Amino acid sequence: MLFVVTTFNFADRAILSMAASSMRAQLGISPIELGYVFSAFSWAYVIGQLPGGWLLDRFGSRRVYAASIILWSSFTALQGTVEVLGPANLIAGLFVLRFLVGLAEAPSFPANGRLVAAWFPTAERGTASAIFSSAQYFAVVLFAPIMGWVIFHYGWQHVFLFMGGLGVLIGLAWLRVIDSPRKHRRIGQPEFDYIAAGGALVNMDHAPAQPQAKGQSDWRYLRQLLGNRMLLGVYLGQYCVNVLSYFFLTWFPIYLVQERGMSILKAGFIASLPAICGFIGGLLGGFVSDRLIRHGLTLTWARKIPIVAGLGLSSIMILANYTDSQWVVVGVMMIAFFGKGVGALGWAVVADTSPKEIIGLTGALFNCVGNIAGIVAPIIIGYLVAVKGSFTYALVFVGAHAALGVFSYLVIVPKIGRVVLKTGDQ
């Protein structure tokens, strides 16, 4: 279910990038304006992380996540109606609606992290986290061709209405399917005992109320998290991973149309090829990491090896600047996003390292820092494209962040392990 919901999560983030070429032609939106509209999602997503994490720790994953899904899907559907605002208010209207989508989606990944920590033993979390993280690629594999087809035949407005309506149905299904391990009606005692013995935090939403874990001292704990070298290195690594993600979710289809001369219909299908590779890489990275743990490697190196190898491979996307062949470009991007998928284990690391009392808040802080990339990357890429007239420097900008992520995990992150909060006079 996490995989299904995260697929819709990323599909809704990517709708504007698929529709942007048609919208620019019809509505006269400039690259710089588009960059700011793309960034609106992440401004709200970042702002909403810490409140979203607090809500999850206070009210639990099931209810908060359901509200999140239904709200973001409703705001997605409304983006198909922005023409009624008129030319003078169009950009502002798009910005506000994208902002609201980002605000509503803010609890989603911290909730994913909480549910993985609650339902999976340590030696299975890498695979579980990789499965839901790989949904970002599957979203493009599944929906990019569909969205391209809808836009081509019916216009950009209908794709927002179509995806928003489907999302509301998914939100209702979530309430029917999901619950905590202790309350789920289909869990058996042997399964409960197995996951609890393996380190799953089965009592996360059922522990006795502790004021310090329910928000009264969260800001003091936040200082401890921000002062932890290991967590800071993990946060920087996630920022670098997300620069690649947001290039793919925002500017990549436009790159294929504007820089490589593809039609919107062809770009929709071509964009799915690197996404397939990212999906395969994401599953492989989690599987390899958990396999290394089961074969006796330390948690630190079992997580670091796939992350470092994958991000190192992602940096080759810069090579796309040195060819005129569409298919060589696609091949380079397929390799780059396969590597990015392998290296996208940040949420497994969050489940491994978060203090037990504030897993929602810790995941929210991780996601907050990581998604600053969604503010910075679309705007900088928009300016680079507008000023330079091509994507050459944009690819260098994105590829360099993959190399920075390697540095972060090799140099900044020491031993990986669960953080223990200091309380009282400690």
Q: Is the pLDDT score of 285 beyond 70?
A: yes
- Residue ranges of alpha helices (H) inside 155-209 are 156-177, 189-197
Alpha-carbon separation of residue 190 from 84, 127, 169, 195 (angstroms) = 57, 21, 33, 9
pLDDT-derived band at 81 (thresholds 50, 70, 90) equals confident
Query: 408: number of CA atoms within 13 Å, CB side?
Result: 23
Could you state, in order of their start, the residue ranges of all structural domains in the chain? 2-201+212-412
C-alpha to C-alpha distance for 155 and 149, rounded to whole angstroms = 9
The mean pLDDT of 297-321, rounded to a whole number, is 94
Q: What is the mean pLDDT of the chain?
A: 85
d(CA 243, CA 336): 13
Q: What is the pLDDT of residue 150?
A: 85
Which tokens hold the place of 409? Answer: 């995990």
CA 420 → CA 8, 34, 300, 352, distances in Å?
A: 35, 43, 17, 12
Q: 310 in the Ramachandran plot: left (φ > 0), alpha (ψ -120 to 50) or beta? A: alpha
CA dist list (Å): 93 to 24, 40, 70, 82, 101? 15, 11, 20, 6, 12
Average pLDDT, integer, range 118-139: 84
Amino acid at site 132: F
Helix 299-314 and helix 346-353, axial crossing angle in degrees, nearest 10: 160
Query: Which residue is it, tokens 């340590």?
Result: 122
Structural class in CATH, domain 2-201+212-412: mainly alpha
- Rounded mean pLDDT, 326-346: 90
Quote the percentage of the chain above a pLDDT of 90: 30
Cβ-in-10-Å burial (0-12, 13-18, 19+) of 185 comes to exposed
Which of 197-206, 236-245, 249-258 has the highest mean predicted lDDT (pLDDT)?
236-245
Distances in Å between the Cα of 376 and the Cα atoms of 17, 41, 148, 399 are: 16, 12, 27, 15
Spatial contact of 305 and 287, defined as CB atoms under 8 Å apart: no
CA–CA gap between residue 244 and residue 355 (Å, rounded)? 28
Q: Is the pLDDT of residue 106 over 80?
A: yes
Residue 271 has pLDDT above 60, yes or no: yes
Residues 400 and 377: beta-carbon distance below 8 Å: no
| pTM, rounded to two decimals | 0.72
Signed CA dihedral, 292, 417, 45, 4: sign only: positive
Mean pLDDT of 153-173: 89
Write the DSSP symbol of residue 297.
Answer: -
Q: Which two tokens stand for residue 68?
A: 């999140």
Give the position of tokens 């960034």.
39
